[in-house]
Every structure is written in structure tokens, then in C-alpha cells.
Structure 1
């Protein structure tokens, strides 16, 4: 009898199964397409104790009780379909773990439905891509503590390991794990877009080649911007297409796709009333990129007059580095604020410093700055957006002139910077004591009698701004 089962043998599922087996556990695997199971066993499994099964019944019966089954299948209906296939063969006390990018509300529903049948369920975010799944991902399990305890040992062993411990923790109640992974992806969207905007400025204004941009990115990766996304970005810049000999990045169509987690983050932030402009505009940037034909057509109709300026390239590079650091910080600020609000609303009981700790390794948004963010949060765990700290203000103010310069320079050259600009505006809004929302409230009261409050006395007021008759 095997200790754990895994369903779904796309590359992520295969790599996770190999990771588990290489940590000393026996694994049963199943895939709806039997040929995929056969290929995996023949081509990738060597000495690992992994057994393949070609029907659900045999797969379930191969597992020790209480059974522990990880699903690595596409989010949405496929998860529900697999659960329905499993249910006839499961018993009370068995555990299902969804390791996909499921929508957190779907996870909450499944936890409730399965609890009524006596089946335990964990919604577990998995970050790190294919390499992370094989060598050690960041794992974000959420659900009942009872369910987590059943697989705690194996999860801690297969997770990425850092000096701060395994990159896995019990994230919180109910769908906390998938919620945190969703916001992780929202932050990921924002950082990727910010890096791309900086790249755009370097190639279009500084006229740098991909090799030169790669050199700058690598230099940054050796400093404060050290991160997985920075590391892959300098490697991408240097990669040449075998067929043409050209830099591959220059041959890739500029239409960025998405799978939904960024959009869910933005929608949820609106629902909970938490400002996440950088995360939301990163999603909008991908949507804008998809209208390639429209963009090409319209670009021919706009005459662009570029300024004749002599730039100090090294100064611009330093300003770009500071602007990117500013944007990375504010992206985390917005994401953590959203997680905190969700934790209160949905009673997740999430520990934000712990979330930052498990993002330090095996994770797409792993970055050197996470230690700094944890330091700020540990000083005051109520400082959920990180801004109410002398360290934060000093860090951001030190880079304020740079991000103002960079965004203004981009506009002079007709270059959009949705995330860099929104990061700046988010900060400026948060440090501004008087926003123009008073006029908005007056407008709302004028046309809809929506009322307003005053700064000089208590109460709710409405004004007849002009005679109706």
C-alpha cells in the first residue's frame, strides 16, 4: 500500500510526484489519459517508488488509510469532476488536497460539501513552476488544522528549504491557502509588468540591445532587486533563437495571456474595498496587449514627436532600478493589505510574516526584499500595508524622485507605464491628507441625494444644490 496518491500528470503533477517519492514516500499516480501515465512511468520514473494506475478504483485501493490524495488538475469543473469520480471509493477520514490554482470560493464550497460526507479537504497553493515542483516549491495549504496535520510531514519535506525553514506553513482556515496563492499571483502580475515597463524604457529610450539590458538586469539581481523574476529576466534577454540566431525575446509576439488569478485578485480587492491599483492595472496591461491589430492600426495614426534630450544613461539606469524597487514594495503593500482584509472577513486567521517567510524560496515572487518586509511587519503586525513605518517611508522617499523622473520620461516618449505610474499614485494617495473625494461626494449628493459628512460638525447631510422646480 502506498502512502500518498496524486492525480494529474501534466508536468507539474509529474514533478511533484517525483519530488515526493525522492523524499522517501511511496506514491500512486493516476491520469485520465492512461497513455500519459504509461509515458511518465517509462520515461521519467527511475528508482523512485511510484506506481501507476489506470482506473480510479484501483488507484484509491492502492493507498493506505486514511487515504491522502493530491489533485494536480486544471482549476474549475475538472476538479469537481475528479472529486465526483473519487467519492464512491473514499471513506470518512480520507483527505483530498487540491494543488491547483482554484478560485478560493470554489475551495470554500468544496470544503463544506465534503465535510458533510466526512471527507477532509485542503486547498493548497503551489508556487515555483515546473522546477519548483520537482526541487522544492513554496506550499500554501489552507483548510482544517486536522487535514493539515495528516500531511504536514510530507509537505514540509518536499517544500523549498531556506535559512528561515521550509517554505510551507499552515496558512489558515477554510480557503486561506488558495486565497493567499491567488494574491501571490496578483503580486506576480504587477512585478512582471513593472520589469517589462523598465525593459521597454531601456530598449526604446536608451536604445539598449537585449544583451545590454541583460547585463543591467544581472547587475540588479546581484543587489537589492535580487529575485527569481529578475534572474529569469536577464537569462531571457541573452537567449538566442537557434533557427534565426536573433534574440528570442525580440521574436515573441507582444500579447500576454492570463489564466485568471490576476483577474480574481482585482475583483476580490474591489469586493473587499482594498486599493490594489498596481495589481489591477497589471491585469489591464495584459488585456491591452491582446489588441495587437488595433494597436498597430492606431499607432500609424498618431504622430509622435520625441524630445531632443541628451541622457546620462547611468543615471537613468539607477533611476530605473529605484523605480522598480519602489514598485515592487508597493505591489507587496497592496497584496498584503488585501490578504489581511480577507483574513478578517473570512476568518482565515492568516499570519502575514509567515506568509512572507514561505515566499522566500521555491517561489515565483521570492525576492531579497521579503526579509525587509518581514522586518517591518514583525515590528508591528497591524501595519498590514507596510506603510506606517519610518523604515518604509525612508525606503520609498529615497526612491520617490527616481520613480517620478522615470514615469515622466516615459510619457515624454509615449511609453505606457501602468504599474510604475500606479505604484507612484498609490503612494501619493496614501500620504495625502486631503484628496479631492469631497468634490465627488458633492457631485453624488447633487444628482442622487447620496448625502455627505462634514469636517466641521458631526452628522449626515444633504443639500438641495439648486431648485428642482
Structure 2
């Protein structure tokens, strides 16, 4: 089928390439003139045959909203927008209602797979009306792994991004568990081969996974991770997952702790830990000063 792709960065560009490899006709727009097929959203609409299908892969938030607003001016009733970024599911519902007044259809699609998706396929999680999902299903099937799976129509509008949000929250917890296991083994005087241990877990164990494969790959490149700064950004979905857990009164201690650990990674000298150190010093004389910076040193009198 024919598809317009807006946003041809690391994700959108690879998705467009995979779709073309599968025989689909993709017309791409991006601000980078070196990768785009058309120079404007208006030209994109002109190149596509009605009823049009346009997939957005632009940063969440204001860039997505601005793009949808501009697209609504050049599309026609019966056209379909698929929002494939990491939008908040609440925004999907509002946008779908606004576009419906113009006769424009809307799907939200959570996409997982990162930079490896062109070769391996993506996980696609879709929200929207069944007839709209069916219309775009050839694209979803082409993007997912060749051996099958990796695709779900999760529910109505917003459901695709909701389950992608939960997916990313689970990812936070899994990554944090691997990270803590690495630090514990590295800090011990028992384990001599931490990278080899992770490598051995890739087969036959209950923790084998693609994330584990990626960790082993990183450790092969840099066994002590000396070139990596201990700083982890959060992309928003972790926060939204924790907020949704609060809204629905669902306990989510692992995901919450993993999110807060990322916040802690950004503090070179944690104010909270300063308070902990000060309190320990007050009640027990456990002083750790910048001069000594050694928690194992004998406490001062």
C-alpha cells in the first residue's frame, strides 16, 4: 500500500526503509533535505492518493501536536493519521476527537525495536477503531518480525500508547535489575569474570532476553564500562507509567524504584544523601567528609 512517513530520523528512516524493502510505496517528509522525498506537508498530501495514510514519527509533545495541526489543514475527510511516537495516551484521545470533526481518522501506534528494527522487525501496539486498524494492517505486518508476532490491536484510541507506556515501564525495571546485578558482582571479591557471567546467562536461564544480549554486547566492547558515564535520561513513559499506577491504585514498586534510580544518576553529589550522611554523623559519629571521602574510615570522635 501507499504511505506517507513524516519524520525520517533513526526510527522513522529505518521504518520507511523496511516498508520499501517489503514492497510498499513510502513518500517521506523530513526537515533534512538529504533524506526527504517532498519539501512540505502540503506536497506530501499532493503526492499521496486519497484516501491517504500518513504515519508520524516525530518527537512527542509540541512537535507532534504542531505536525498534526498542520496535517489537518492539508488532509481530507477519510484520510488516516497514525501517530507512532511516544505520545501520552490522554493526548491521543483529544486529538482523535478534534480530527473526527474534520472527518480525519486517527490511530496511535506504540513502536518498539530501536535502531535494530529495520533488520529484526518492530513491536507494534495499536489503538483505534477496528476498521482503521484493518486498513493499515498491511503496514503493521510488514514492520513486525518476519517469523510472526510482535503486533497487537490493544483497544480503542489511546490503548496503543498506553500499553507501550507500560512496556517501557517494565523495561525500566528490567534494565535496573541487570544494572544492580552488575554492580553487585563487580563490587564483590568473589566473581572474577562479570562479562562472562552475563554471557553465560544468555542460554538456558530464565533471565535470557534481548536486553541481556545487548548488555553482553556492550560489555564485549568495554568490559569495565569505563567509557560510559553513569547518567541515564528518562524519556517520559516511565513517569507516565508511575502516574498511571497512582491513578489506578496499582502498586508498582519496581518500576517506581527504577525511575527514581534514573533521577539519582543525574546527581553528582546527592542532596538527599548529604542529609543521610549528616544524620548518621549526628547520632553515631559516622563522618564522611570530602577530605576523606572514605565510608570505611574510622569515624571521628
- Classify the TM-score, shorter chain: 0.7 to 0.9
1:285-343 CA deviation, whole Å, 9 max, x = no partner?
Answer: 1111111133897694476459xxxxxxxxxxxxxxxxxxxxxxxxxxxxxxxxxxxxx
For 1:57-103, what per-residue CA distance to the aligned partner results, in whole angstroms no more than 9, with x for missing partners? Answer: 11111112110000000001111100111112111110000110111
Greater Rg, structure 1 or structure 2? 1
**From 269, 283, 286, the counterpart of 2:259:** 283
Runs of 4+ in 1 over 4 A off after TM superposition: 295-300
1:254 aligns with 2:254: no
Query: How is 1:230-309 mapped onto 2 (pairs within 5 angstroms)?
Result: 230-240=212-222, 247=223, 249-294=225-270, 300-301=288-289, 304-305=295-296
CA distance, structure 1, for counterparts of residue 78 and residue 108 of structure 2: 16
Instruction: Rate the CA distance shift 1:172–1:206 in 2: closer, same or farther, 3 A.
Output: farther
| Maintained 8 Å contact 1:16/1:134 | no
Q: Which residue of 2 aligns with 1:218?
A: 199
- Which one has a larger percent helix, Structure 1 or Structure 2? 1
Listed as ranges, the gaps of 5+ residues in structure 1 are 42-51, 241-246, 307-469
Closer, same or farther in 2 for the Cα pair 1:143/1:24, shift >3 Å? same
Inter-CA distance 206–65: structure 2 relative to 1 (3 Å threshold): farther
Alignment correspondent of 1:177? 160
For residues 115-174 of structure 1, the C-alpha deviation after alignment (integer angstroms, 9 at most, x for no partner) is 121111111000010111454100001111121011111211221134xx3311211112
Show the counterpart of 2:106. 121
Count of aligned positions:
281
Q: Indicate yes or no: 2:53 matched with 1:54.
A: no
Query: Structure 2: which 5+ runs fail to align?
Result: 278-286
Q: Which residue of 2 aligns with 1:399?
A: none
Alignment partner of 2:115 out of 122, 126, 130: 130
Residues 1:147 and 1:20: Cα distance change in structure 2 (over 3 Å): same
Q: TM-score, normalised by structure 2?
A: 0.88
Alignment pair present for 1:195 and 2:178: yes
Alpha carbons of 1:254 and 1:127: their partners in 2 closer, same or farther (altered >3 Å)? same
What RMSD over aligned residues (CA atoms) do the two structures have, in Å?
Answer: 2.1
